[in-house]
Amino acid sequence: MEGKKETLYYFGLTFVSKFITYLLLLVLANYFYISEYGRASFALAVFNVVYFFMLIGLPDVFVPWYINKKDVNSVFYFLALVTGIFTVIGIFVSLIYNWILPLVISLPFLFFYLLGYSIFRIKKQYHLLKISDILFVLLTFIFVYFFRESGKFGITLGYGLAYIITGIFVFVLSRKEIIQIISSFRFDLQPIIIYLKKGFSTAMVVLSYLFLGWIDSIILGKLSTYENVARYSIASPIANIITVVPLALSMFLLTRISEVKKEQLSSSIFNRILRLSVFFSLLLSILLISVVNIILNIFFKQYSDVGIYVTILMTGVLYFCVYTLIATYLSAKLTPEKIVIPIITAALLNVILDILLIPQYGLLGICIATMIAHMAAFTLLTIRVGIFLKFIPVYFISLLLLASFYLGYYGLILIPLSVLVMFIFKLIRLNDLEVIKEVLLKSLNLR
């Protein structure tokens, strides 16, 4: 029950984090020129891709690696070495592009941020994960607003300072475990190689998520305009709101499946988590898409035309809400290599479609490419774990998102209809909702 309650706390705190994130988006959208924001978004996308490969396996492989008592010391010192190398390279690059220096300096702090993040997940302290995220977003909001007159440098400085301070905060909270790892020096290549193989496999699913924002932004910046990068940087985070559902559920799934040894129980937990993810993700999607134009016209007037792009992207994210949990499940079982072929296929499809569609259709092209790639990943991974037939109805219910956009706020009437449809297709069951009810009542001390 502890893990379930912590997951619930994580879910609630995620909405606080998202609220502050959209305050930050308001600042970025209204206080910076579109071209300046586009350049900064491009730089942040590159930075995110760099640290993703630099700190491969944190936290998705590191958590089950630690729980199963593998050699974490060698892995730590290897990742620390790689971080140092990338930081030095970044300093030389910043001699040419000096406005990215704050991001480069933040890399070592980001290492400890993600290491501490992993430890929080191991200890099932999911509330600390979100408190750290909230601190980061809040600090970014404050610093970016304070340095808003400095253009793109103000944005990178705001993010850099937020990473540094949050990294220190997370290190302090997890210092006991980190110091314990540091105190025993080991650099054995064999476990490092095994870890990297597992990390590379797990990285494939994260790579697909990168195409939803970071890498797509880079490709868009090269094949289109920085103005389109800025518009995409508004549409994508709005579409990403529904990821709070699978990301919260993944906290519980990764740790729980790593602990459970009985295959039948493991499979039962996995299938229930998938059903809950589809159920809540779809309802949240319909709610948001029905009012997206109202939100854009009130808060993002410069970007009031991106509603259709949000809808297309969110349709892709709905598929992500299923297959990211499949990847989490396989990672928890330390078999992430099963993810590789499906995700590489989807990622390559995304790149090919980007190159074909962006020159002619611009922002619309990249959104369609991303949605199709997510559908491909969903299809291949559900087939891979033998649950494709159970989740075929997801293709049909995803059409409700497009319908809700064209209905406007009248699209809200589709919410009860979608609940009925999901019960008919067995994408949700009464006992699934009873589990949620029980956790809620116990969390509120009502039972």
> Cβ distance 132 to 117 under 8 Å?
yes
> Cβ distance 252 to 3 under 8 Å?
yes
Per-position b or e across 271-303, b if 16+ CB within 10 A of its CB: ebbbbbbbbbbbbbbbbbbbbbbeebeebbeeb
Reported as a single tens digit per residue, the pLDDT across 51-61 is 878 888 787 77
Distance of CA 185 to the CA centre of its chain: 32
- Residues 5 and 11: their CA atoms lie apart, in Å, by 10
Give yes or no for residue 216 having a pLDDT over 80.
no
Question: 13, 49, 65, 48: which is closest to 254 by C-alpha?
Answer: 65
> Cβ distance 357 to 366 under 8 Å?
yes
DSSP structure string for 319-361: HHHHHHHHHHHHHHTT-GGGGHHHHHHHHHHHHHHHHHHHHHH
Reported as a single tens digit per residue, the pLDDT across 8-23 is 666 666 667 777 776 7
pTM of the model: 0.73
225 Cβ contact list (under 8 Å, min separation 6): 38
Q: Average pLDDT, stretch 12-37? A: 73
Q: Hey, what are 335's tokens?
A: 């078999």
Give yes or no for residue 293 having a pLDDT over 60.
yes
Give me the pLDDT at residue 129, please: 83
Give me the pLDDT at residue 345, please: 87
Residue 412 — pLDDT band, cuts 50, 70, 90?
A: very high
Residue 149 — pLDDT band, cuts 50, 70, 90?
A: confident
Lowest mean per-residue pLDDT among 78-82, 178-182, 326-330:
326-330
Q: Is 384 exposed, middle or buried (0-12, 13-18, 19+ CB in 10 A)?
A: middle
Give me the pLDDT at residue 7, please: 60
Q: What percent of the chain has pLDDT over 90?
A: 46
Mean pLDDT, the chain, integer: 86
24-33, 222-231, 250-259, 360-369: which has the highest mean pLDDT? 360-369
Q: Average pLDDT, stretch 45-56? A: 81
- Residues 336 and 333: their CA atoms lie apart, in Å, by 8
Reported as a single tens digit per residue, the pLDDT across 226-276 is 788 888 888 988 898 898 888 878 877 767 777 777 778 888 888 999 999
Tell me the residue type at 401.
L
Q: How far is CA 220 from CA 97, 216, 306, in A?
A: 20, 6, 15
